[in-house]
């Protein structure tokens, strides 16, 4: 279990270093997560220690929504005042996400079918 936690912290630290010196506009944990995913794809497996830690973390993902819910209640008047802009932004981002995902899937499926 310690080995899995060390792997996660290693990639997060690497992401922080890259964020500090190379890509200051991206958060370090995001860069570390992308590097971890790339590493796992290249290895084509998730080792047992990392899987145990990931399963342990995923049990508590619900706790991450508590601060967001408190923020929604705290800023409810501002959210009501800007409801139309927020709804437009959410709908627009969902449509763009679905469209870009479809383009990527189409591109990758054409590459696979060519092989």
Domains held by the chain: number: 2
- The reply to whether 75 and 44 lie within a common domain is no
- The reply to whether 69 and 115 lie within a common domain is yes
Residue 86's domain comprises 65-115
Average pLDDT on 79-90 reads 95
In contact, 52 and 4? CB cutoff 8 Å? yes
Residue 114 has pLDDT above 70, yes or no: no
- The reply to whether 79 and 36 lie within a common domain is no
- The reply to whether 47 and 91 lie within a common domain is no
The segment with the largest mean pLDDT, out of 9-18, 87-96, 101-110, is 87-96
- The reply to whether 70 and 50 lie within a common domain is no
Question: What pLDDT, in 10s, does the model give residues 19-37?
Answer: 999 988 889 889 999 999 9
Closest among 12, 3, 4 to 53, alpha carbons compared = 4
**CA separation (Å) from 61 to 20, 35, 48, 58, 74?**
27, 21, 20, 5, 22
pTM over 0.85: no
- The reply to whether 77 and 26 lie within a common domain is no
- The reply to whether 2 and 54 lie within a common domain is yes
């Amino acid at each position: 279990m310690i080995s899995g936690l060390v792997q996660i912290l290693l990639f997060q630290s690497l992401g922080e270093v890259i964020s500090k010196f190379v890509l200051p506009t991206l958060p370090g944990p995001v860069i570390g997560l992308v590097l971890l995913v790339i590493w796992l794809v290249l290895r084509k497996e998730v080792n047992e220690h990392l899987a145990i830690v990931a399963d342990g973390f995923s049990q508590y993902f619900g706790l991450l929504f508590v601060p967001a819910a408190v923020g929604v209640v705290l800023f409810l008047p501002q959210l009501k005042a800007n409801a139309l802009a927020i709804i437009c932004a959410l709908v627009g981002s969902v449509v763009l996400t679905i469209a870009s995902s479809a383009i990527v899937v189409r591109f990758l499926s054409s590459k696979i079918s060519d092989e």
